[in-house]
Amino acid sequence: MKALQDRILKDGKYLNNGILRVDSFINHQVDPLLMDQCGEEFAKEFARVKADRILTAEISGIAPALMAGKHMNLPVVYARKHKPVTMPDQVYFTVAPSHTKGNMVDLIVSPDYLPRGEKVLIIDDFLASGSTILGLVRLVQAAGAELVGIGTLIEKSFEGGRRSLEALGVPVVSLVRISSMESGKITFTE
């Protein structure tokens, strides 16, 4: 997606160790027009999967998931990192490593919002190693729901996460694929 590529080149910052900082337009400050374009693209890419809802991870996946939900007319559920007192005692829970935080994070969803038998589309900001997305997949499986697709804004293909996701047998769509960030130069894969 050219608009997202252009924005990454303009405002993205390489921080070493494979980390690309895009918080000025995706997750700390959000560009709603760009996220709306991304949501529209996800809606086109996943029109055939007939999802019932979208699942993402708190915080960074919320903006693209919401916009995809808007264009697909689907509810969006996000896996929380902390269990609020308003959540039921019985929850779906897993942990996943955080590339940017350097530790494990909790992923928690109420069974009220991830019903058994529903078709779930996962939308997230990054695909790197695939660990966070695989955590979301575990939540879908624990709920007895059906995974129908995975979408990400940015894939760092040099980290190899796509291989583990393709083994799931569902469409995996990244709006932008980065093949290299050697010496701070971002190279895209078409």
Report the pLDDT value the prediction gives residue 101, as an integer from 0 to 100.
Answer: 65
Domains and CATH numbers, the chain: 2-189 (3.40.50.2020)
Chain-centroid distance, C-alpha 14: 20
Give me 106's structure tokens: 């909790």
* H or E element in which residue 43 lies: helix 32-45
What is the sign of the dihedral through the CA atoms of 127, 137, 162 and 151? negative
pLDDT band at 84 (very low <50, low <70, confident <90, very high): confident
> Mean per-residue pLDDT for 152-156?
97
Flag whether the pTM goes above 0.85: yes
Answer yes or no: is pLDDT of 99 > 70.
Answer: no
pLDDT score of 86: 81
Q: Is the pLDDT of residue 100 over 70?
A: no
CA distance 143 to 136: 11
Q: What is the reported pLDDT for 98?
A: 74
